Amino acid sequence: MKTLFIAALSLAAFSKVHSQVYVQGGVNLANITSTKSGQTEDNNNLTTFNAGILGRFGLSKVIDLESGLLLNGKGSKAQTYFTGNTDDNYVKTKFNPLYLEVPLNVVLKFPLEKTTNIFVYGGPYAAMGIGGKSKSESQLFGLKGSSESDIKFSNDNPLTSQQEDAAYDKLKRFDFGLNVGAGVDLKKVLLKVNYGYGLTKINSTQSDNSADDKNKYRTLSLSLGIPLGL
């Protein structure tokens, strides 16, 4: 939590001396891997959101660094039908955790005009879970049922190999991964597409992230950025 707080304060100070700071908002298509090879297969994309503030350091016209603080929705949804009748005998689930995320991207810019450029970027991210909901709905032989619960996070220390406060109904509080993306900077607005590739198994009882690629986040984001201080 201290790291995220320091990042937010640093960005606030950074915004006073650099012009390329922008607020961002957009749509996430979130999913979770379900196979050893890292595929999502039977899971369905969950539509959620991203919002926050990002800044670029202005290193040069071609290469730059970008960081900031984002509120990122992740998760997945799934539907299971036990018969050919989609109006009965089903279970539908939606799993939507929320994270505060700090990315650190290397940005490569390709000028098109004086005030326009396209860019590509990539780099690591660190995220901390702060909330979210898990919902389920079922109908079996005409009997309906539903449930909703708050997502719980373990108080694990990410700097140790052991899983403190681990439980099967809890997620790891900290997630780490890689971002890769591209976009166009039109000066008054930035259009971006980003793919978040999670490297951390999200279940708090799982410690070996390299054993396979099950239970890791995969998040496609479409975002709009509005620069500040123009």
Domain ranges of the chain: 2-74+96-130+175-228
Q: 4, 12, 66, 5: which is closest to 229 by C-alpha?
A: 12
pLDDT above 80 (res 84): no
CATH topology of domain 2-74+96-130+175-228: Porin (2.40.160)
Rounded Cα distance between 97 and 79, Å, is 18
Average pLDDT of the residues in 127-151: 90
pLDDT in tens, 6-35: 454 454 444 444 458 999 999 999 999 988
pLDDT value for 142: 79
Average pLDDT of the residues in 114-124: 93
As beta bridge partners, residue 145 has: 138
Q: Over pLDDT 90: what percentage of the chain? A: 58
pLDDT above 70 (res 224): yes
Of the two residues 81 and 148, the one the predictor is more confident about is 148
pLDDT above 70 (res 173): yes
Rounded Cα distance between 224 and 79, Å, is 31
pLDDT above 80 (res 149): yes
For every residue of the chain, which 3-state class applies, written as one string? CHHHHHHHHHHHHHHCCCCCEEEEEEEEEEEECCCCCCCCCCCECEEEEEEEEEEECCCCCCEEEEEEEEEEECCEEEEEECCCCCCCCEEEEEEEEEEEEEEEEEEEEEEEECCEEEEEEEEEEEEEEEEEEEEEEEEECCEEEEEEEECEECCCCCCCCCCCCCCCCEECCEEEEEEEEEEEECCCCEEEEEEEEECCCCECCCCCCCCCCCCCEEEEEEEEEEEECC
Rounded Cα distance between 67 and 31, Å, is 24
Of the two residues 105 and 146, the one the predictor is more confident about is 105
Average pLDDT of the residues in 144-159: 89
Of the two residues 5 and 229, the one the predictor is more confident about is 229
Tokens, residue 59: 């290193």
pLDDT in tens, 191-221: 999 999 999 999 999 888 988 999 999 999 9
Rounded Cα distance between 46 and 66, Å, is 27
Q: 40 pLDDT band (50/70/90 cuts)?
A: confident
Q: 230 pLDDT band (50/70/90 cuts)?
A: low
pLDDT above 70 (res 2): no
Contacts of 150 (CB under 8 A, 6+ apart): 131, 132, 133, 134
